Structure 1
Amino acid sequence: MSGAGSRPGEAVEATEAALAAHRALNGAADDPYPERGVAELFEAQAARRPRATALVHHGRRMSYAELDERADALAAALRAAGAAPGEAVTVVLPRCPDLVVALLAILKCGAVYLPVDAAWPDERLRTLLDAAASRLVVAREADTAALGARLPGRRVLAVESARPDDGAAPAPVYRAGPDDLAYINFTSGSTGLPKGVPVRHRGIVRLVHGARYARLDEHAVLLQMAPVTFDAATFEIWGALLNGGTLVLYPSPFIRLGELRQVLAEHGVTVLFLTTALFNAVVDEAPDTLAVLRTVLTGGEAHSLPHMAQALRHYGTDRIVSVYGPTECTTFATYHPVRELHPEEPSLPIGRPIQHTRAYLVEDGRLCEPGESGEVLLAGPGLSPGYLGLPDVNARQFADLVIGGQRERVYRTGDRALLSPRGHLVFQGRTDDQVKVNGFRIELGEIAHHLQTQPEVRRCYVTTRPSGQGGLELVGFVVPAAEGCDIAAVRARLRAVLPAYMVPAVIRVRDDLPLTITGKVDRAALLASLEEPSGPDSPAPGGSASARSASGAAT
């Protein structure tokens, strides 16, 4: 992380021009947010508007009172099963009302929810649960036996096992505080092991209370479309339920544009988040889909300016908001209302910090002035306390710095940006090999690690290339250890240890990896070779990865 360049506790050098620019960047006044936990804030909404619609799924509506009662009943069952404050409880549920019930129930116990996908390989699931020390799993009754076999040593509790009318004693009240943990998301790790990112209640509340980037209130209707393992779901679920709004659960496991248009119109959805690739697909194939919305939030990758220009023509200048942020800063850190495109800016700005968030650009230990580029450092109550069990990584990624005489705990994002003369941040790429593909943050090194450890592979290189929807797709190159490298077997072994979105769309066998004059792998030459007639090349089955991942990122 050479961009930031400062040691923990060290003062960052800053000119008056740099300090003034950052005061302007971070200077918007914030309303105080409640110093309470997520479950307590939800209960306040349920008490205030018990009959208001909290959830909609397949035409069925669930009121705030019913959701609260269902969550209380499951919380009692969880406590009886041993769920303790601060303990991680794994959630293996599809998008449905029971999923939201489970998340609320876990928080009502003071426990921490760990969402995972049942489709992930057994080895990965066990690794994540071990890292989080999770002993208890919540799933559908139909899945409990299979999950019990896949996850030995864990107790699997059926979400249907507790209902408000079953006569169970109410759960002991535990009021999680703002600094208690609420959930854990895992992101890709360069060592071959995923990194657990715990998020505090405070981070969620700061994200959705007094939002600058969208109108979130009792009239808001949000569509829940992201997988719960993807941190956009944090915004969707709690952005609705902590503000007295309505959460519409997308009814199908995969996104179909015709169905999406129908759902948005039928339920009067006002706010929608789309990954960049899915946004581009909608703009290309069915632009009228988004016409009913008040606000379209989009992010996860660098935006395509042609798609954004087309969107402005379709939707006008007061509807699209670009959002940016890592999991380590609780979903969103900056936002940029897209009203016009500026030819002198080669990429779309990521904008200014959202409420209760601060951003700094630092290069070689010095705060950047307007017109300069540096690494994006983030600060504020949205920051994670640090990765689970990774003190060395925490020491690199999180630091206490003194900026303008003020001590700040910052997260070094590894993203580079320009401080525009207009006073906002313009994304300029990564300082390392971490990428975002359809909203999923991926360390290319983790994929390379699992490729390199396969017996057929002598050397490998993993990168990305543009996909058909203006996003990115993963590409792998392997130099075989011997003749007859079986790419199908290589791909199958990758699928056994990695989620589907981390398996390269194309794996190309090569005799060698070309090098640049400086001795680095020549990425441009490798990508150019993909245009040559393919030999033992193995594209992913079932069409382009971008189409599959764009759907998968929203399931």
Structure 2
Amino acid sequence: MTTAPDRSAAPTAAPLRIEAGPAALAAHRALNQDTDTPYPDLGVKELFEAQAARRPRATALVHEGGRLDYAALNGLANDLAETMRSAGVRPGDTVTVLIGRSAELIIALLATVKCGGTYLPADADWPDERLRALLDRTGSVHVLGRAGDLDALAARLPGRRFLPVERDRLTEREQAPAHRGSPDDIAYINFTSGSTGVPKGVPIRHRSIVRLVHRARYCRLDEESVLLQLAPVSFDAATFEIWGALLHGATLVLYPSSFVSLGRLRRVLTEHRVTVVFLTTALFNTVVDEAPDTLAGVRTVLTGGEAHSLTHMATALRIYGPDRVVSVYGPTECTTFATYHPVRALDRDESSLPIGRPIQNTRAYVVRDGHLCPPGDPGEVLLAGPGLSPGYLGLPEATARHFVDAEVDGVPERLYRTGDRAFLSERGHLVFQGRLDDQVKINGFRVELGEVAYHLDAQPAVRRSFVTTRPNRQGGRELVAFVVPDTADCDPETLRAHLRQRLPHYLVPTVLRLRADLPLTATGKVDRSALLAGLDAPAAAVEGGAS
């Protein structure tokens, strides 16, 4: 099977030596103490099939059309895998999955890993240009889609081989594909926003998924668990939701719509007795504000993706009590979650909610100028462990910048430089302090402001642009763009239409304002505060959803 180093080989460099004083060394040893936990040296295919053999009649999947037990789900995935193998899918191939949340989606993901393939989760609503670029960069020839969508997809993505996935046309094949890969094979590829206008492909190994969900510290995952699948499959939270359930013999409940209604969410959580749910920060805040009883019966509420509002967390603590809400943090490059913080109390001397301590088989360091930072001193968060991606697809220089070999406390480590600032508190947990660059989180999606500006500046009608964020009513953040036009007929809606043709919806600014110029600070930088302060003044603008 093709492994990621073959796809994104990075230049070699001498290991970085990270120094540490006594206080910093003691604090980091305490932070990372006892994080090493044994986990199976197996891939997703083998672990899922073991659960299907152990609990064949247990409910694996609840979907809008009914339920599938483990034997049925395994058999349907075996049948699709055989069809894929006959169509030419080979171990190491990247298979694009363009299927919305449904039983067919889960069957498609399982069938792909059963073939030894790598799944590329994508959204059919993405612009054609972006979809074609991602398929080209991953060498994806085969595309899985619903039968009724294939003609339209074929017109949008010429030169691909399309395979229909319809549950009612599959049979339950007992024999699984014989392929047995390595835990170091690539299971899937996520794409994140890129500052140069080019999304970065992040390949994730099988062992990284297993590390994420096996003996999880941040919530209880076992055969009695019921997990809600709510995140878009292209968002890495779906990795936790899907495999956290299916690799434990637990039940996965698919939320039955692409749009979240709090009333419907409450009914789904209650009817199926969901025990674990992940909500983005913005959605969590909305639930706390508008319908806190939605989560009344859920054992563990995981939430993250953006910095948390202490006001909302205080309300949640009062309503749900301690240890029900767990803040989770982690970049895509470290396979979904890297740290966790069970909310038990809010300390008066902390201005933000901690991101906590490392999850199992993960190590975290706060580093500045080649030294571990002692408690209280801010630095960059660096992560280590088997959750790390091998690197960015086809971007060796970016890989070399962000993934570094180092020696920490005399121990060799491969580290991912997150670009996040934090400090170690005296209580021994990490406290997030923002970004070192212009990367932000919008509804849990990672956004490089430079990617949005790149596509705006590429328009002939645009002389200059500035992209930033501001708080929204849900307690999260929204994108705001300011444009200095180069032509008299520059129109905000035309610019937004241009962006919608090239970018996913979450990268299209909610507010786009035309200006005669961009004000500068005394140091010559764009005056972000002045721009945001002027938003309430009448001007040519388009405000609304980014869809």
Kindly state the Cα deviation for residue 59 of structure 1 after the two structures are TM-superposed: 6.0
1:429 matched to 2:444? The reply is no
Amino acid in the other structure paired with 1:122: D
Q: Distance in 1 between matches of 2:308 and 2:196?
A: 29
Contact 2:338 2:362 (8 Å CA) reproduced? yes
Asked if structure 1 preserves the Cα contact closer than 8 Å seen for 2:76 and 2:167, the reply is: no
| 2:36/2:362 contact within 8 Å kept | no
Deviation of 1:535 after TM superposition, in Å, equals 1.3
Structure 1 residues 387-396 or 511-520, which shifts more?
511-520
Do the aligned residues in 2 keep the contact of 1:370 with 1:421 (CA within 8 Å)?
yes
| Aligned mate of 2:282, from 272, 277, 283 | 277
- Equivalent position amino acid for 1:42 in 2: F
User: Once the 2 structures are TM-superposed, how far is the Cα of residue 537 of structure 1 from its aligned partner?
Assistant: 1.1
- 1:181 maps onto 2:219 in alignment: no
Task: Render the CA deviation track for 1:409-465: whole Å, top value 9, x for unaligned.
Answer: 000000000110100000000000000011000000000000001111000000000
Report how far residue 188 of structure 1 moved.
0.3
SS at match of 2:536: coil
Separation in 1 of the partners of 2:110 and 2:349? 47
Matches within 5 A, 1:14-25: 14-25=20-31
In 2, Cα distance between equivalents of 1:43 and 1:232: 23
For residues 291 and 347 of structure 2, the distance between their equivalents in structure 1, rounded to whole angstroms, comes to: 26
The structure 2 residue matched to 1:380, chosen from 382, 385, 388, is 385
Secondary structure at 2:296's aligned position in 1? helix
Q: Deviations over 1:483-540 (max 9, x none)?
A: 23211111101000000110000001011111111111111111111122x2111113
The residue aligned with 2:535 is: 530
Residue 4 of structure 1 aligns with which residue? none
Summarize the alignment of residues 219-258 of structure 1 with structure 2, pairs less than 5 Å apart: 219-258=224-263
> Following TM superposition, by how much is the alpha carbon of 1:172 offset from its aligned partner in structure 2, in angstroms?
4.1
Contact 1:73/1:163 (8 A) holds in 2: no
Give the TM-score of the pair, scaled to structure 2: 0.96
The AA in structure 2 aligned to 1:539 is E
Match of 2:512 in 1: 507
Give the 3-state SS of the residue equivalent to 1:349 in structure 2. Answer: coil
Aligned in 2, Cα 1:451/1:44: closer, same or farther, shift over 3 Å?
same
Q: Which whole-Å CA distance do the structure 2 matches of 1:435 and 1:249 have between them?
A: 28
Q: CA deviation at 1:29?
A: 4.5
Q: How does 1:41-190 map to 2 (within 5 A)?
A: 41-58=47-64, 60-160=66-166, 165=171, 172-190=177-195
Aligned length: 535
1:36 corresponding residue in structure 2: 42
Give distance in 2, aligned partners of 1:19 and 1:91.
Answer: 45
Letter paired with 1:537: A
**Matched-pair contact (CA < 8 Å) for 1:95–1:253:** yes
Unaligned runs of 5+ in 2: 1-12
Tell me whether 1:393 sits opposite 2:393 in the alignment: no
Per-residue Cα deviation, 1:275-332 (whole angstroms, up to 9, x for no partner): 0000000000000000101000000000011000000111001200000000000000
Aligned: 1:416 with 2:408: no
Task: Give deviations 1:352-389, integer Å, cap 9, x for gaps.
Answer: 00000000000111110111110000000000000000
Q: Residue 486 of structure 1 aligns to which amino acid in structure 2?
A: D
The CA RMSD measured in Å over matched residues stands at: 1.4
Summarize the Cα distance change of 1:114–1:476 in structure 2 as closer, same or farther, 3 Å threshold: same
Identity %: 68
Q: Distance in 2 between matches of 1:264 and 1:302?
A: 25
After TM superposition, the score normalised by the length of structure 1 is 0.95
1:8·1:399 contact (CA, 8 Å) conserved in 2?
Answer: no
Cα deviation, 1:104-132, whole Å, max 9, x if unaligned, reads 00000110000100000000000000111
CA contact (8 A) 1:437 1:472 kept: yes
- Please say if 1:458 is aligned against 2:463: yes
* Residue-by-residue CA offset, 1:158-196 (whole Å, 9 max, x unaligned): 0128955488x9564111211000000000001101000
Q: Residue 460 of structure 2 aligns to which amino acid in structure 1?
A: P
Shift of residue 30, structure 1, vs aligned partner? 3.6
Change (3 A) 1:357 1:264: same
Distance 2:417 2:86 in 1: 41
Are the equivalent residues in 1 in contact too, given 2:104–2:167 (CA < 8 A)? no
Shift of 1:84: 1.2
* C-alpha distance in 1 between matches for 2:100 and 2:14: 42
Give the equivalent residue in structure 1 for 2:451.
Answer: 446
Distance in 1 between residues matched to 2:51 and 2:436, nearest whole Å: 43
Counterpart CA distance in 1 for 2:473 and 2:491 is: 27
Kindly provide the amino acid, as one letter, of the partner of residue 338 in structure 1: V
Q: Which residue of 2 aligns with 1:520?
A: 525
| Partner-residue secondary structure (3-state), 1:184 | strand
Contact 2:76–2:171 (8 Å) recurs in 1: no
Report Cα offsets for 1:395-416 as digits up to 9, x if no partner: 1010001111011100000000
1:370 equivalenced with 2:356 (yes/no): no
Q: 1:81 Cα shift?
A: 1.1
What amino acid maps onto 1:40 in structure 2?
Answer: E
Hey, what's the Cα distance between the residues in 2 that align with 1:326 and 1:354?
13
Aligned to 1:308: 313
Q: Distance in 2 between matches of 1:8 and 1:517?
A: 41
